[in-house]
């Protein structure tokens, strides 16, 4: 198979973790005889430095031409006080919108070998296996009007949380579709006791559930969900929620997985004529300026994102399973980075990438 991949390393540890993810991708391509064509582009702070904008037109063109895009992370402290349009994070929002990737899938698993890395009690976390489906191109991060106006005591900031029925329907369909291949349970998370937006969300999800009689659906308020994720994470199979709630809840997932560096994600749009899903793949973590350039970052979230890419964008289930099994084997071996190994000598980012390739065989 031809695998035309765009890699956008971005800022901070982005280049380090995508370097190892690309290493694993090359290894898989060699082993299963796929033709791999990797191109590299600019996104985020590095793109602002080189072109003046966080999402250059050239990057938009490369992403549209690629079968799938692998992203690192964006964000540099020097832009912390820059206006939104000139911030690296704007590049992230714009590429998601340009590719139309409306569903962000974030699997959260508690690996047995990492139970001790979680600050939660082992018996609570053990067996956790869920996927958070977050709506990604609507809601308050994109809604208008937005902005800050006025001065003094009258200075006022506005953001708008807006969803259309069709935006809710398509991400709901994705969640039910995923649940069919899992434990057949969807928990839809909203704030319908306060927000009209959530009332529409709940009504549309409930209506759509009638098309999937084999799936059990329940609804949960987001504040309760934040609590249940910690108290009883095993109760969740597929968690479906809007953009901002999903952003916040999925970071909570990092506590269950042992480290934020472990979490992969896949952002999926519509199907291409070939049947493959349009996909943007990235670890959940940010650019981690505190450890950037030190060969310390955990690359397993980025490598897990490669497994998701092989599965969703290319339908290569055997290759995807091999990468996932290799991640589990590396975790069992204890040859892991410092975030998962508070004592003893940790492995470097590169060593973890090499170990994953070795475990694939």
From the list 134-142, 229-237, 268-276, 278-286, the region that binds ligand NAD by CB under 6 A is 278-286
The verdict on 270 binding ligand NAD (CB under 6 A) reads no
From the list 18-26, 105-113, 178-186, 293-301, the region that binds ligand NAD by CB under 6 A is 293-301
Q: Which residue has the tokens 């001790």?
A: 116
> Checking DSSP bridges between strand 264-271 and strand 103-109, what pairing results, if any?
antiparallel
Q: How many CB atoms lie within 10 A of CB 341?
A: 16
**Least CB distance to ligand NAD at residue 43 (A):** 9
Binding mask of the shown chain, residues 17 to 36, with x at each position contacting ligand NAD by CB under 6 A: x-------------------
Binding mask of the shown chain, residues 68 to 87, with x at each position contacting ligand NAD by CB under 6 A: -----xxx------------
- Among residues 63, 260, 268, 307, the one that binds ligand NAD under rule CB under 6 A: 260
| Residue 76, token pair as written in the block | 């540099």
- Among residues 297, 303, 327, 360, the one that binds ligand NAD under rule CB under 6 A: 297
The verdict on 6 binding ligand NAD (CB under 6 A) reads no
**137/287 with CB nearer ligand NAD:** 287
State the catalytic residues: 141, 191, 223, 247, 251
From the list 56-64, 181-189, 199-207, 279-287, the region that binds ligand NAD by CB under 6 A is 279-287
- Among residues 41, 286, 304, 353, the one that binds ligand NAD under rule CB under 6 A: 286
Round to whole Å and give the CA distance between 295 and 337. Answer: 9
The verdict on 285 binding ligand NAD (CB under 6 A) reads yes
**206/295 with CB nearer ligand NAD:** 295
Residues 335-354 that bind ligand NAD (CB under 6 A): 337, 339
Q: How many CB atoms lie within 10 A of CB 148?
A: 10
Alpha-carbon Rg for the chain, nearest whole angstrom, is: 20
Residue 154's Cβ-count burial label (10 Å; 0-12, 13-18, 19+) is exposed
**179/263 with CB nearer ligand NAD:** 263
| Residue 75, token pair as written in the block | 């964000």
Question: Kindly report the CA angle at 181 between 179 and 186, in degrees rounded to 5?
Answer: 10
**Least CB distance to ligand NAD at residue 309 (A):** 16
The verdict on 48 binding ligand NAD (CB under 6 A) reads no
Round to whole Å and give the CA distance between 211 and 208. Answer: 6
- Among residues 156, 290, 321, 325, the one that binds ligand NAD under rule CB under 6 A: 290
The verdict on 313 binding ligand NAD (CB under 6 A) reads no
**126/251 with CB nearer ligand NAD:** 251
**53/228 with CB nearer ligand NAD:** 53
Q: Which residue has the tokens 């949960």?
A: 220
| Residue 89, token pair as written in the block | 């994070």
Which residues, in sequence order, are CB contacts of 145 under 8 Å at separation 6+?
A: 158, 160
Round to whole Å and give the CA distance between 185 and 220. Answer: 13
Torsion of CA 270, 271, 276, 282, to 10 degrees: 0
The partner residues of 239 in beta bridges, in order of sequence, read 132, 187
Which ranges of the chain would DSSP assign to H, the alpha helix?
14-31, 45-51, 57-65, 88-99, 122-125, 165-180, 196-209, 222-231, 243-257, 300-312, 317-333, 349-360
- Among residues 291, 307, 322, 352, the one that binds ligand NAD under rule CB under 6 A: 291
**2/80 with CB nearer ligand NAD:** 80
**Least CB distance to ligand NAD at residue 261 (A):** 3
Round to whole Å and give the CA distance between 304 and 266. Answer: 10
Which letter does DSSP use for residue 348 in this model? P
**Least CB distance to ligand NAD at residue 239 (A):** 19
The verdict on 255 binding ligand NAD (CB under 6 A) reads no
Q: Which residues bind ligand NAD (CB under 6 A)?
A: 13, 17, 73-75, 89, 92, 260-261, 282, 285-291, 297-298, 301, 337, 339
């Amino acid at each position: 198979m031809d695998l035309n991949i765009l890699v956008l390393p971005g800022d901070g540890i982005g280049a380090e973790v995508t370097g190892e993810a690309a290493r694993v991708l090359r290894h898989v391509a060699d082993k299963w005889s796929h033709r791999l064509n990797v191109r590299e582009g600019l996104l985020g702070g590095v793109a602002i430095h080189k072109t003046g904008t966080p999402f250059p037109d050239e990057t938009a063109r490369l992403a549209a031409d690629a079968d799938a895009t692998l992203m690192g992370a964006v964000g540099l402290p020097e832009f912390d006080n820059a206006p939104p349009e000139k911030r690296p994070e704007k590049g992230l929002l714009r590429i998601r919108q340009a590719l139309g990737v409306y569903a962000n899938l974030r699997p959260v698993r508690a690996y047995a070998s990492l139970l001790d890395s979680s600050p939660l009690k082992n018996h609570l976390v053990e067996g956790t296996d869920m996927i958070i489906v977050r709506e990604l191109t609507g809601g308050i991060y994109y809604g208008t009007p937005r902005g800050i106006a006025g001065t003094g005591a009258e200075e006022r900031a506005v953001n708008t949380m807006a969803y259309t029925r069709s935006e809710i329907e398509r991400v709901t369909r994705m969640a039910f579709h995923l649940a069919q291949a899992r434990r057949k349970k969807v928990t839809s998370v909203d704030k319908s006791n306060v927000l009209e937006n959530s009332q529409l969300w709940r009504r549309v999800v409930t209506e759509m559930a009638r098309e999937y009689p084999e799936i059990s659906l329940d609804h949960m308020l987001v504040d309760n969900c934040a609590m249940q994720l910690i108290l009883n994470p095993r109760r969740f199979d597929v968690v479906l929620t809007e953009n901002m709630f999903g952003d916040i809840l999925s970071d909570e997932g990092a506590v269950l997985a042992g480290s934020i560096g472990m979490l992969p994600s896949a952002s999926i749009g519509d199907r291409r004529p070939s049947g493959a899903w349009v996909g943007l793949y990235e670890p959940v973590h940010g650019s981690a300026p505190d450890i950037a350039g030190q060969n310390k970052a955990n690359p397993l979230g980025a490598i897990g994102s490669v497994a998701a890419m092989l599965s969703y964008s290319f339908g290569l289930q055997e290759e995807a399973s091999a990468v996932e099994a290799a991640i589990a084997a590396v975790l069992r071996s204890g040859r892991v980075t410092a975030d998962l190994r508070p004592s003893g000598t940790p492995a470097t980012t590169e060593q973890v990438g090499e170990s994953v390739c070795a475990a694939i065989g």
